[in-house]
């Protein structure tokens, strides 16, 4: 039932699994819903994993149910429904009299008329579709296990909700918290075989023993440990003050994560110059050249900043505006050194892309792949960091 709705959801990029779909089918078979409005909420609760997909779900729901038509086997379903005497007991005397006075052709014609009204107006024309067959009768002729399409409390309400798409603000590019960032950073994890060969490889041992005519042959392997190393460089102060909380969430998630073999972090102001700093007040400085010499190229590097600054701050020697910093190399030169030394680098920008049309932002974006500091942007950056070169 509703198989095409499953494919419509997949087409709209809603990550629906077969297990979830079967759970929905089980709920339908047990008669947990009685109208399309109930179906809207139940299906969303079972099939949609995150509020981030509510918008796509509404689009798929609207597209699928807006032009619903009677299935080809409708006549056979009605006959099956009519053969069951229990169904007639559910009808009122008036409805039974109406049913007895109508031939099958008239019944089908009346149903098609109701369906047409439902499709065009969404303001009536109740009909039921479900495991027990299809009934063209109204609210008083409720059929066990079916779904009423239309009428008060039915399809009209659900369709209005879908058309309003009132959950479109629940998007993954609008909200970030520590847990979401931790999950995103987990995507960097890479397990490598390291250390002595002291772990029994059960599958290969069984295979080797079988090939050895049943005589035991143990196969040993190295333990798998996470080999990812992360270097986080963050712009602090000035125009980054409005994003201090967001950057704090990112730092907290990275610092508390157990997914990295090594994690190092430094601060800078506006751009990387001759030194990076272990504290946000930029008092404990470490030479940028020293970092480039001591850190291996396989570190994953994430730079965070709005990239907004005076052009001289980016391209001029001694362009740094920090009073105690006299940079002998231009900031853009330092960024190029970082991009050339480390194999994987990205820049996360907390400003929306509509503000990126600025000379320094555009220049930095040509040196380092730039992504917005949102959940979607972070996922894209992680994909960039794990791609093989």
How high is the pLDDT of residue 155?
Answer: 44
Do 137 and 254 fall within a single domain? Answer: no
Per-residue pLDDT for 69 more than 50? Answer: no
Q: Per mean pLDDT, which range of 68-72, 77-81, 226-230, 334-338 is the poorest?
A: 68-72
What CATH number is given to the structural domain containing 280? Answer: 3.40.50
pLDDT tens digit string along 50-62? 777 787 888 888 8
Do 147 and 260 fall within a single domain? Answer: no
How high is the pLDDT of residue 345?
Answer: 96
- Over range 385-389, report the average pLDDT: 77
Q: Which residue in 160, 133, 154, 155 sits closest to 144, CA to CA?
A: 133
Do 375 and 244 fall within a single domain? Answer: yes
Domain count, the chain: 3
Per-residue pLDDT for 109 more than 70? Answer: no
Of 116, 147, 164, the last residue of a domain is 164
Binning pLDDT at 50, 70 and 90, where does residue 204 land? confident
Domain limits at 339? 227-386
Can you read off the two tokens belonging to residue 349? 């920008």
Can you read off the two tokens belonging to residue 238? 């000035």
How high is the pLDDT of residue 208?
Answer: 85
Of 146, 164, 182, the last residue of a domain is 164
Q: Is 190 within a domain?
A: no
- Over range 191-213, report the average pLDDT: 74
How high is the pLDDT of residue 372?
Answer: 94
Neighbours of 356 (CB within 10 A): 17
Per-residue pLDDT for 177 more than 70? Answer: no
CA torsion angle for 363, 364, 366, 367 (degrees, to 10)?
Answer: 130
- Over range 281-297, report the average pLDDT: 90
- Over range 267-283, report the average pLDDT: 88
Q: Is 173 within a domain?
A: no
Percent of the chain with pLDDT over 70: 65
Binning pLDDT at 50, 70 and 90, where does residue 104 land? low
Do 212 and 256 fall within a single domain? Answer: no
Mean pLDDT of the chain: 76
Do 253 and 340 fall within a single domain? Answer: yes
Residue 296: C-alpha distances to residues 112, 323, 369 (Å): 72, 31, 20
Neighbours of 347 (CB within 10 A): 24
Do 348 and 244 fall within a single domain? Answer: yes
Do 56 and 87 fall within a single domain? Answer: yes
Binning pLDDT at 50, 70 and 90, where does residue 197 land? low
Query: Alpha-carbon distance 88 to 80, whole Å?
Result: 12
Do 298 and 382 fall within a single domain? Answer: yes
How high is the pLDDT of residue 174?
Answer: 43
How high is the pLDDT of residue 306?
Answer: 94
């Amino acid at each position: 039932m509703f198989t095409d709705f499953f494919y419509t959801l997949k087409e709209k990029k809603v990550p629906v699994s077969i297990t979830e779909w079967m759970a929905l089918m089980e709920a339908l078979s047990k008669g947990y819903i009685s109208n399309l409005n109930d179906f809207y909420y139940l299906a969303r609760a079972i099939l949609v994993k995150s509020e981030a997909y509510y918008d796509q779900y509404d689009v798929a729901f609207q597209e699928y149910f807006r032009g619903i038509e009677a299935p080809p086997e409708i006549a056979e379903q009605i006959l099956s429904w009519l053969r069951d005497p229990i169904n007639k007991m559910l009808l009122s005397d008036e409805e039974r009299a109406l049913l007895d006075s109508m031939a099958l052709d008239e019944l089908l014609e009346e149903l098609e008329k109701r369906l047409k009204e439902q499709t065009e107006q969404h303001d009536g024309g109740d009909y039921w579709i479900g495991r027990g067959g299809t009934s063209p009768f109204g609210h008083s002729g409720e059929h066990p296990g079916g779904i009423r399409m239309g009428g008060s409390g039915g399809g009209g309400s659900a369709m209005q909700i879908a058309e309003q798409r009132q959950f479109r603000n629940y998007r993954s590019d609008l909200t970030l918290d520590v847990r979401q960032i931790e999950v995103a950073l987990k995507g960097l994890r890479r397990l490598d075989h390291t250390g002595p060969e002291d772990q029994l490889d059960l599958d290969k041992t069984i295979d080797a023993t079988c090939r050895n005519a049943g005589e035991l042959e143990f196969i040993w392997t190295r333990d798998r440990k996470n080999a990812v190393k992360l270097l986080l460089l963050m712009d602090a102060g000035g125009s980054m003050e409005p994003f201090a909380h967001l950057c704090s969430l990112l730092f907290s998630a990275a610092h508390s994560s157990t997914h990295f073999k090594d994690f190092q972090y430094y601060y800078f102001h506006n751009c990387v110059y001759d030194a990076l700093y272990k504290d946000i007040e930029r008092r404990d400085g470490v030479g940028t050249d020293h970092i480039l010499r001591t850190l291996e190229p396989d570190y994953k590097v994430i730079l965070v900043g709005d990239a907004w600054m005076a052009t001289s701050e980016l391209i001029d020697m001694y362009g740094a505006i920090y009073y105690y910093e006299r940079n002998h190399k231009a900031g853009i030169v330092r960024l190029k050194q970082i991009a050339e030394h480390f194999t994987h680098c990205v820049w996360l920008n907390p400003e929306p892309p509509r503000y990126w049309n600025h000379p320094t932002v555009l220049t930095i974006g040509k040196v380092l792949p730039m992504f917005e500091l949102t959940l979607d942007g972070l996922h894209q950056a992680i994909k960039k960091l794990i791609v093989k070169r």
